[in-house]
Amino acid sequence: MRSFFLTSLAVAGLASAAVAHIAPDAERPYRKSLGFGPVHPHAVFRSAPYQVQAAGLRASPDVDPLDVATTFVVNHLRDVLSETSSFVLREDSYTDEATGVTHAYFRQIVNGVEVIDGDLNVNVKDRVVLSYGDSFFHGPAPTVVVEEGASERDPHGEYCSRLESQLLFRPEATRGEQVALHASEAGNAELIQALHQSNCGSRSFVAESAIHTHNDEFTNKPALLAFMMHATPSESVAQDINANFRKHIVRMRSTFDTAYTGDHATTVEYIHNVPDTVNPVKARIGYIQVPEGGKTVLLPVWKFEVEMADNWYEAAVSVTKPHRIISVVDWASDAYAPIRREQESKQPTYHVFPWGVNDPSEGNRTFWNAKPDAIASPVGWHTLPFENDPQYFGVRRKAGSEKFRNTTTTWGNNVFAHENWEGRNAWVDNYRPDAGASLNFSYAYDPRETGSEDALAEAKGYINATVTQLFYTSNLVHDLFYRYGFDEVSGNFQQHNFGRGGAENDAVIANAQDGSGYNNANFMTPPDGQNGRCRMYLWNTANPYRDGDLEAGIVIHELAHGLSTRLTGGPANSGCLGWGESGGMGEGWGDFLATTIRSTANYSDYPMGEWAANRVGGIRNYVYSLDETINPSTYKTLDKPGYWGVHAIGEVWAEILWVVSQKLIAKHGYSDTLFPPQPLENGTVPAGDFYRPREHYTLTTASGAQVTKAKPLVPKHGNSLAVQLVINGMKLQPCRPSFFEARDAIVQADQVLTSGENFCELWKGFSERGLGPDARVDGRTPWGGGVRTNDYEVPLACKEEKIPEDPEDVKLDFII
Ligand SMILES: *[C@@H]1O[C@H](CO)[C@@H](O)[C@H](O)[C@H]1NC(C)=O
Ligand SMILES: *[C@@H]1O[C@H](CO)[C@@H](O)[C@H](O)[C@H]1NC(C)=O
Ligand SMILES: *[C@@H]1O[C@H](CO)[C@@H](O)[C@H](O)[C@H]1NC(C)=O
Ligand SMILES: *[C@@H]1O[C@H](CO)[C@@H](O)[C@H](O)[C@H]1NC(C)=O
Ligand SMILES: *[C@@H]1O[C@H](CO)[C@@H](O)[C@H](O)[C@H]1NC(C)=O
Ligand SMILES: *[C@@H]1O[C@H](CO)[C@@H](O)[C@H](O)[C@H]1NC(C)=O
DSSP string, 266-313: EEEEEEE--TT-SSPEEEEEEEEEEEETTEEEEEEEEEEEEE-SS-EE
pLDDT tops 90 at residue 23: no
* Secondary structure letter of residue 143 according to DSSP: S
pLDDT tops 80 at residue 456: yes
From the list 334, 421, 357, 337, the residue with the least C-alpha distance to 615 is: 337
Evaluate: CB of 386 within 6 angstroms of ligand 1. Answer: no
Ligand 5 pocket: which of 602, 670, 673, 674 to mutate (most atoms within 8 A of CB): 602
pLDDT tops 80 at residue 257: yes
Nearest alpha carbon, ligand 5 atom 3: 602
For residues 553-576, average pLDDT: 97
From the list 292, 307, 344, 558, the catalytic residue is 558
Residue type, 503: A
Q: Residue 244, class by beta-carbon neighbours within 10 Å (0-12 exposed, 13-18 middle, 19+ buried)?
A: middle
Listed in sequence order, the residues at least 6 apart from 151 whose beta carbon sits closer than 8 Å to its beta carbon are: 320, 321
Which tops the pLDDT comparison, 422 or 401? 422
Active site residue 172: no
Q: CA of 290: how far to CAs of 162, 303, 326, 334, 782, in Å?
A: 11, 15, 8, 28, 11
Q: Residue 334, annotated ligand binder?
A: yes
Evaluate: CB of 465 within 6 angstroms of ligand 4. Answer: no
Q: Residue 21, annotated ligand binder?
A: no
* pLDDT recorded at residue 641: 82
Listed in sequence order, the residues at least 6 apart from 586 whose beta carbon sits closer than 8 Å to its beta carbon are: 333, 561, 564, 565, 577, 646, 650
pLDDT tops 50 at residue 28: no
* In 183-294, alpha helices (H): 183-197, 208-213, 221-231, 235-243, 245-251
CA-CA-CA-CA torsion for 233, 234, 235, 236, nearest 10 degrees? Answer: -160
Ligand nearest to the CA of 682: 6
* Secondary structure letter of residue 734 according to DSSP: P
Q: Domains in the chain and their CATH numbers?
A: 12-24+145-334 (no CATH), 44-134 (3.10.450), 336-477+495-500+515-520 (3.10.170.10)
pLDDT tops 60 at residue 333: yes
Ligand nearest to the CA of 438: 3
* pLDDT recorded at residue 148: 58
DSSP E strands: which ranges in 720-765?
none
Q: Residue 557, annotated ligand binder?
A: yes
pLDDT in tens, 83-110: 788 899 999 999 998 899 999 999 999 8
User: What is the position in ligand 5's atom list of the atom closest to the CA of 602?
Assistant: 1
Distance CA 623, CA 211 (A): 48
Nearest alpha carbon, ligand 4 atom 13: 461
Confidence of residue 157 (pLDDT cuts 50, 70, 90): low
Evaluate: CB of 684 within 6 angstroms of ligand 6. Answer: yes
Which pairing describes strands 383-385 and 404-406: parallel, antiparallel, or unpaired?
Answer: antiparallel
For residues 581-586, average pLDDT: 94
Listed in sequence order, the residues at least 6 apart from 117 whose beta carbon sits closer than 8 Å to its beta carbon are: 37, 38, 40, 135, 288, 289, 327, 575, 735, 736
Q: CA of 519: how far to CAs of 11, 327, 541, in Å?
A: 22, 29, 8
Ligand nearest to the CA of 406: 1
For residues 255-272, average pLDDT: 85
DSSP E strands: which ranges in 458-591?
508-512, 521-524, 532-536, 538-539, 546-547
Evaluate: CB of 464 within 6 angstroms of ligand 4. Answer: yes
Listed in sequence order, the residues at least 6 apart from 389 whose beta carbon sits closer than 8 Å to its beta carbon are: 405, 495
* pLDDT recorded at residue 365: 98
Mean of the per-residue pLDDT values of the chain: 83
Evaluate: CB of 434 within 6 angstroms of ligand 4. Answer: yes
* pLDDT recorded at residue 55: 67
Residue 100 contacts residue 126 (beta carbons within 8 Å): yes
Nearest alpha carbon, ligand 3 atom 6: 442
Rounded distance from Cα 776 to ligand 3 centre (Å): 58
Distance CA 740, CA 656 (A): 12
Evaluate: CB of 404 within 6 angstroms of ligand 1. Answer: yes
For residues 401-423, average pLDDT: 95
Ligand 3 pocket: which of 347, 441, 442, 446 to mutate (most atoms within 8 A of CB): 442
Ligand nearest to the CA of 362: 2
* pLDDT recorded at residue 31: 59
Rounded distance from Cα 438 to ligand 3 centre (Å): 9
Ligand 3 pocket: which of 346, 347, 349 to mutate (most atoms within 8 A of CB): 349
User: What is the position in ligand 6's atom list of the atom closest to the CA of 682?
Assistant: 1
Rounded distance from Cα 671 to ligand 5 centre (Å): 13
